[in-house]
């Protein structure tokens, strides 16, 4: 269960420090732009998705089909404030998306709870699952009866699905005065783990691992938009690998990159760094449908679009 202090949710051993002016200037001056070339994507016929398949749309946007139900996570299809979307070879046709049985939101940051994107798919969404105090952001889009809020370690069990909200080491905010007034987290959906955004702490990882209903086959783990200056909130590549190893999942699919430049690292650095240390990773093409069995059958796979040679 999460903890409220003065009406604000608490994270795991979080230490917030105000950024120094020189670091802010360095970030503004040296922030890299998007890749110079257009990224090759492949948008498939999503009406034909089968059980145990998934699609990664870049950043943390994932669609998977499990137990005959389609689950969409953190849909973000447009540029966000002050940040340009990478150029892709195709534009997604939203009409190609199937009925979305469950929309999962991990937290309320603009690159995860994108109102414009959610409005585009709202007519296809049946039910919405959110951490506590997040309904308020979607009340003009969905009926209250469509939305369910969960606390950490709470689950809903429906339609042969178990969807469980688990902790992450992060925070929430959509403005200057609402920091941590809504909850954030990660999810387990049957044998799939979805990390959301998180920093690393041994306590957190152990709690998450011990609270899993089953050992995950595939773990979508954040690795991107990291920086030592906000190390409390995001995983460095070596921590992404450590997180994955403690979870004990069979294969890691890294996420939180491939769509925006929100930090100082280069657009494909997360893949380059993970490639050096992780032997059980799968980095596919944005928009392409992949079978769980294919992903689990690869010791390591990195699509050529990321310009990274396997090691």
Q: Which residues pair with 267 in a beta bridge?
A: none
Question: Residue 240: helix, strand or coil by DSSP?
Answer: helix
Q: Are the C-beta atoms of 87 and 177 separated by less than 8 Å? A: no
Closest Cα to residue 165, out of 198, 188, 145? 188
Per residue, the 3-state secondary structure of 148-167, as one string, reads EEECCCCEEEECCEEEEEEC
User: Does 110 count as an annotated binding residue?
Assistant: yes
Q: Which residues pair with 65 in a beta bridge?
A: 53, 70
* 36 contact partners, CB below 8 Å, separation of at least 6: none
Closest Cα to residue 159, out of 99, 203, 89? 99
- Residue 78 tokens read as 């447009």
Q: Are the C-beta atoms of 248 and 241 separated by less than 8 Å? A: no
User: Does 102 count as an annotated binding residue?
Assistant: no
Residue 16: other Cβ atoms inside 10 A: 11
Cα–Cα distance for residue pair 53/179, rounded to 1 Å: 36
Burial grade of 178 (CB within 10 A; 0-12, 13-18, 19 or more): middle
- Residue 105 tokens read as 């939101």
Tokens 């670091």 sit at which residue?
A: 23
Cα–Cα distance for residue pair 60/185, rounded to 1 Å: 13
Question: Residue 244: helix, strand or coil by DSSP?
Answer: helix
Q: Are the C-beta atoms of 130 and 105 separated by less than 8 Å? A: yes
Residue ranges for the binding site? 110, 234
């Amino acid at each position: 269960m999460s903890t409220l202090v003065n009406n604000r949710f608490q994270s795991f051993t979080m230490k917030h420090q105000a950024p120094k002016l020189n670091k802010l200037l360095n970030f503004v001056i040296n922030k890299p732009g998007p890749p110079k070339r257009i990224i090759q994507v492949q948008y498939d016929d999503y009406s034909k998705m089968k059980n145990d398949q998934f699609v990664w749309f870049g950043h943390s946007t994932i669609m998977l089909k499990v137990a005959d139900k389609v689950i969409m996570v953190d849909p973000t299809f447009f540029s966000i404030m002050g940040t340009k979307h990478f150029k892709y070879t195709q534009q997604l046709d939203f009409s190609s998306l199937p009925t979305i049985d469950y929309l999962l939101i991990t937290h309320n940051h603009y690159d995860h709870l994108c109102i414009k994107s959610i409005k585009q798919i709202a007519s296809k969404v049946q039910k919405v699952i959110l951490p506590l105090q997040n309904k308020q952001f979607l009340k003009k889009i969905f009926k209250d009866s469509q939305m369910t809020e969960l606390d950490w370690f709470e689950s809903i069990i429906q339609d042969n699905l178990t969807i469980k909200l688990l902790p992450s080491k992060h925070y929430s905010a959509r403005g200057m005065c609402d920091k941590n007034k809504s909850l954030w987290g990660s999810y387990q959906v049957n044998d799939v783990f979805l990390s959301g955004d998180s920093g690393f702490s041994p306590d957190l990882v152990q709690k998450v691992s011990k609270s899993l209903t089953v050992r995950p086959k595939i773990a979508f783990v954040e690795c991107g938009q990291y920086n030592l200056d906000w190390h409390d909130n995001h995983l460095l590549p070596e921590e992404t690998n450590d997180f994955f190893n403690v979870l004990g999942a069979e294969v890691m699919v890294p996420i939180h990159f491939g769509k925006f430049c929100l930090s100082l690292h280069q657009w494909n650095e997360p893949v380059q760094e993970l490639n050096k240390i992780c032997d059980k990773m799968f980095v596919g093409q944005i928009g392409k449908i992949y079978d769980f069995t294919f992903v689990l059958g690869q010791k390591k796979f990195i699509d050529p679009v990321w310009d990274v040679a396997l090691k």
